[in-house]
Structure 1
Amino acid sequence: MGLLRKFFSNTGKPEGTMGKVVVAMMNCGHAGIADWGFSHLTLRGDEEVLDCGCGGGANIAVFLKKLSAGRVTGLDYSPVSVEKARAVNADAIAAGRCSVVQGDVQALPFEDGQFDVVTAFETVYFWPNPAHCFAQVHRVLRRGGVFMITNEASGRTHSHEKWVKIVDNMSVYTGEELAAFLMQAGFARTEIDEDIAHDRVNVRAYKA
């Protein structure tokens, strides 16, 4: 159990050789939930996007395909994840369409109103003080911007309980709990979509 706990806890902040394996696995294993999340997001094609907790950069690559004239920034506090995300999106970085930075969602290293879209795929489980982190997202969004959270754990079933026991510092929230944090952070309104059959939730929050 010690090794299993160490492996899965590495999903929160991938480190070392094991972290590199975890990041590669997440790029493949999270593709399905990411596709479902993207289905809730309508894009013009010229947006400035921030993907928080970008992991190995797979979702950055999806955004780059969807944006004909936009730009994508990835942020993660794991050096292993940042390294992998930069490698996956090296061509776009060289072309000036993408950047990947190491940073913390508790103090986002960006200007106020810098982004049209901010996303968080399979990551808010590990964010300390969600209302504070969400306020940081609210700050870097432009007026009319959207923050989209996609989780493969709806908080409605008991399936997540085994992961909370194994993975250190992991918290699972319902859509309503996330919406409450988002409204506390200053967002004007929220929308929630749940798929209980597949135990997943998508929440969009809009800045007035």
Structure 2
Amino acid sequence: MNLLNKLIEQAKNPNGILGSFMLRIMNSAHIEMNKWALEKIKVREESVMLDVGCGGGKTLQLLSNMNTYGKLYGIDYSEQAVKDSIRANKVDVETGKVHIEQASVTDIPFPENSFDIITAFQTHYFWSDLENSVKEVFRVLKQEGCFFIIAEVYKINYHMKAYKTKEDMEQLFKKTGFNTVEFYVNPNKKWICIKGIR
């Protein structure tokens, strides 16, 4: 396996020391994009939020700052990401405001209608079954809840075989049952934010 493939594998499923290093890089590399995207998210007091693919936990920190009285949950497929994310959110985890566990987006361990807001930062292009993953997100989202996918456009183009276009994603969201789908692209067209309202 060449170095690029090793790094992609670590980005997809971080593990060990290299995985932890990769999570730290991702935390700092994505901060500006994350802040841009979070401006699109209207958080009400006491919102219940889920970050899918919470990685190194930086997005959970930002969401926690926006959501003083709410509850936040993070899931990640990677055991290493869960450990690093818990460490990054130590205080909020200890107070019970933030709960992080190892789980897959294809089988989210929460009942229907659990969340007001669900975010997926730089992760959906790694999902093995995008259609069923979006259905699973829809299942745990409350009525009128919002689902946000945020990603760098070049990573979508690099990693995804299907659902690369705005039209494809809109069709997928509508087919799943979302009432409204909105798209935001930053001025230099490097980042995209897709918002689905149930």
TM class, shorter-chain normalised?
A: over 0.9
User: Is 1:178 matched up with 2:185?
Assistant: no
3-state DSSP of counterpart to 1:92: helix
Moved over 3 A (4+): none
Match of 1:43 in 2: 43
| In structure 1, C-alpha distance between the alignment counterparts of 2:8 and 2:131, rounded to whole Å | 25
Q: CA deviation at 1:193?
A: 1.2
SS of 2:193's equivalent in the other structure is strand
Q: Partner letter of residue 150 of structure 1?
A: I
Residue 130 to residue 16, structure 1, CA distance change in 2 (3 Å): same
Counterpart CA distance in 2 for 1:117 and 1:188 is 15
Name the residue aligned to 1:156. none
CA distance in structure 2 between the aligned counterparts of 1:39 and 1:131, rounded to whole angstroms: 27
**Matching residue of 1:187:** 178
State yes or no: 1:5 paired with 2:5: yes
The total of aligned residue pairs comes to 196
8 Å Cα contact 1:132-1:185 kept in structure 2: no
Specify the alignment match of 2:83 in structure 1.
83
Amino acid at match of 2:191: R
1:159-174 matches, cutoff 5 A: 159-160=154-155, 164=158, 170-171=159-160, 173-174=164-165
Secondary structure of the structure 2 residue equivalent to 1:143: strand
Q: Does the CA-based 8 Å contact 1:24-1:56 persist in structure 2? A: yes
Alignment of 1:51-62 (within 5 A): 51-62=51-62
Shift of residue 7 of structure 1? Answer: 1.5
Structure 1 distance, partners of 2:106, 2:50, is: 15
Q: Secondary structure at the match of 1:45?
A: coil
Cα drift, residue 187 of structure 1 = 1.1
Unpaired segments of 5 or more residues in structure 1? 154-158, 165-169
Q: Does 1:124 align with 2:124?
A: yes
Aligned partner of 1:18 in structure 2 is 18
Instruction: Report the CA distance between 1:200 and its aligned residue.
Output: 1.4
* Larger CA deviation: 177-186 vs 89-98: 177-186
User: Quick one: distance in 2 between partners of 1:181 and 1:83?
Assistant: 33
Q: Return 5+ residue gaps in structure 2 as ranges.
A: none
Query: Residue 11 of structure 1 aligns to a residue in which SS?
Result: helix
C-alpha distance in 2 between matches for 1:71 and 1:205: 21
State the shift of 1:177 in Å.
2.1
Say whether the 8 Å CA contact 1:131–1:184 is kept in structure 2. no
For residue 191 of structure 2, what is the aligned residue in structure 1? 200
- Asked whether the equivalents of residues 149 and 194 of structure 2 are also in contact (C-alpha less than 8 Å), the reply is yes
**% identical aligned pairs:** 27
Q: CA deviation at 1:175?
A: 2.8
Q: Is the 8 A contact 1:175 1:202 kept in 2?
A: no
Letter in 2 for 1:191: E
Partner of 2:71: 71
Look up the equivalent residue of 1:119 and give its one-letter code. Answer: T
Cα shift at 1:183: 1.5
Tell me whether 192-201 or 132-141 shows the greater mean CA deviation.
192-201
Contact 2:125/2:155, CA 8 A, preserved across alignment: no
Query: Alpha carbon RMSD of aligned pairs, Å?
Result: 1.7
Question: Which residue of 1 is the match for residue 30 of structure 2?
Answer: 30
CA positional deviation for 1:160: 4.6
